[in-house]
Amino acid sequence: MSKLVKLKKGFDINLAGKAEKKVEAFPMVKTFAIKPTDFLGMERPKVLVKEGDTVKAGTPILFDKKMEKVQFVAPVSGEVVEIKRGEKRKLLEIKILADSEIEFESFEKLTDGDIQAASREKLIDHMTQSGVWPQIIQRPFGIIANPADEPKAIYISGFDSHPLAPDYELLFKGQEKAFQTGVDVLKKLTEGKVYLGLKAEGAVPAAFATVKGAEVNKFSGPHPAGNVGVQIHHIDPINKGDIVWTVSPFGVAQIGKLFLNGIYDASKVIALTGSELKKAAYVNTYLGACVDSFVAGNTKSDHVRVISGNVLTGSKVNADGYLGYYDHQITVIPEGDYEEFLGWIKPSTTKLSFHKAIGMLSFLNKDKEYIVDTNTHGEERPFVVSGAFEKVTPMDILPTYLFKAIHAEDYDEMEELGIYELVEEDVALCEFIDPSKNEIQALLRSGIELLMYS
């Protein structure tokens, strides 16, 4: 039975630099890259190509030795121009110089009837060999799902509540059939249900409005209402021993396109956002695009931070860096490498802050759009128990005590306090409002890894 979940805890970060709702033309992206660092839990990547090789979209280029069945494939056709490694030969990027017209590897097409008649094993084999499987993420731990497991349910969040989040209506326009086919495939992978979480307010994106075979639940309230982890918590919380899978709407549509068209289609619409962009808009590209085509000559100054993703959970990239595998947004904000005397304690009418003593007017003028930079306005200091974390975590857990348990490496306490329900995005607001300036997302990941490898 569908639910309407009204969330009160959380915090909306209203930033300047929203993308204008139209797709703009930008210079052609020349290079694309797959970055193993985008895949949490990947331990032993094995490269299947060498520099100078030519590939098509869908050609296997990489796999993880601990899960050899899952192939990571080229997002575009072209020439492998660099296999970049770091310290101790750690694999960082596989770069591809793209063809002007993309060529595709051919995979088997399956009709609706074929999908219904196919075994679960056949569908999984098709998805792992063609490159779409990494779109399926396992909870707990937030890692790529193991095809050998069977989840108790599969969850899709149909909206994004992060700062400057893109409009899903625009991102998935015209993909109704692909999304439905993706849902049909996912239904065959679990004995449980496929859940779709939608925003309670406003119009439902056309791609999700008529979907069949998924239980639709609606959520209202501030960020992190759009986080799939929050939605799971209010539908059927994850307990020790449970496995659930999550898939982004892009991943669902990509799975659908594989079965409908027989190709690995990495095309996507992404949002260019942030106060420091001259032109904040949407653009058609492919997964792993080099950001220089969107950023070069499009910033108001040279002293900026380019982020693949959003300001809470995204990753810093160079001006010639690459879009993250799971990101559908690029954000550009001012760099904050300056010192500010008593900056962490001075009340301000211009700073955005969750704490009323500092950001006094952010509560009086909720429609104001703020320009934020990367300055933390203070240094890391002893862990302060302020009670603020609980106000931005709309889940029945005690985040302050959980973080202390991770610090103490208390395995039993971590489990009892709900670590299995969380990944980094679920505690990003805690990091944003933390008066102690702790790297809480990294702290949570350290706790997750303690349990993963114990």
pLDDT tens by residue, 359-397: 445 555 667 888 888 887 766 667 666 789 999 999 999
Three-class DSSP category at 55: strand
Strand partners, 247: 136
Average pLDDT over residues 105-114: 95
**CB burial class (10 A; 0-12, 13-18, 19+) of residue 37?**
middle
Q: Are 220 and 198 in contact (CB under 8 A)?
A: no
The model's pTM is: 0.94
C-alpha span between 288 and 39 (Å, rounded): 13
pLDDT for residue 12 is more than 90:
yes
Mean pLDDT of the chain: 93
- In angstroms, rounded to a whole number, what is the distance separating the alpha carbons of residues 402 and 220? 26
> What is the separation of C-alpha 3 from the centre of its chain, rounded to a whole number of angstroms?
24
pLDDT on residue 372:
87
Q: How confident is the model at residue 347 (pLDDT cuts 50, 70, 90)?
A: low
Average pLDDT score over residue span 136-163: 97
Pick the range with the lowest mean pLDDT from 49-58, 279-288, 329-338.
329-338
pLDDT band for 292, please (50, 70, 90 cuts). Answer: very high
Position with higher pLDDT, 435 vs 152:
152
Mean predicted confidence (pLDDT) in 176-182: 98
Cis peptide leading into 140, omega within 30 of 0? yes
Residue 339's pLDDT band (cuts 50, 70, 90): confident
The answer to whether domain 4-11+107-261 and domain 31-98 are alike in fold is no
State the pLDDT confidence band at 352, using cuts at 50, 70 and 90. Answer: confident
In which element (H, E) is residue 132 found? none
Query: How far, in Å, CA of 208 to CA of 26, rounded?
Result: 29
Classify domain 31-98 at the CATH topology level. Answer: OB fold (Dihydrolipoamide Acetyltransferase, E2P) (2.40.50)
Fold adopted by 4-11+107-261: Rossmann fold (3.40.50)
For the cut 60, the answer to whether the pLDDT of residue 358 exceeds it is no
Q: Is 353's pLDDT higher than 80?
A: no
Both tokens assigned to 416? 């009892």
Average pLDDT over residues 37-65: 96
Q: What is the pLDDT of residue 367?
A: 74
CA-CA distance, 20 to 273, in Å (whole number)?
A: 9
- What residue type is assigned to position 7 of the chain? L
Q: Is the pLDDT of residue 351 over 80?
A: no
pLDDT score, position 341: 63
pLDDT tens across 404-451, in order?
999 999 999 999 999 999 999 999 999 999 888 889 999 999 999 999
Specify the DSSP class assigned to residue 182: H
Domain coordinates in residue numbering, the chain: 4-11+107-261, 31-98, 376-452
Q: What are phi and psi of 428, to 5 degrees?
A: -65, -35
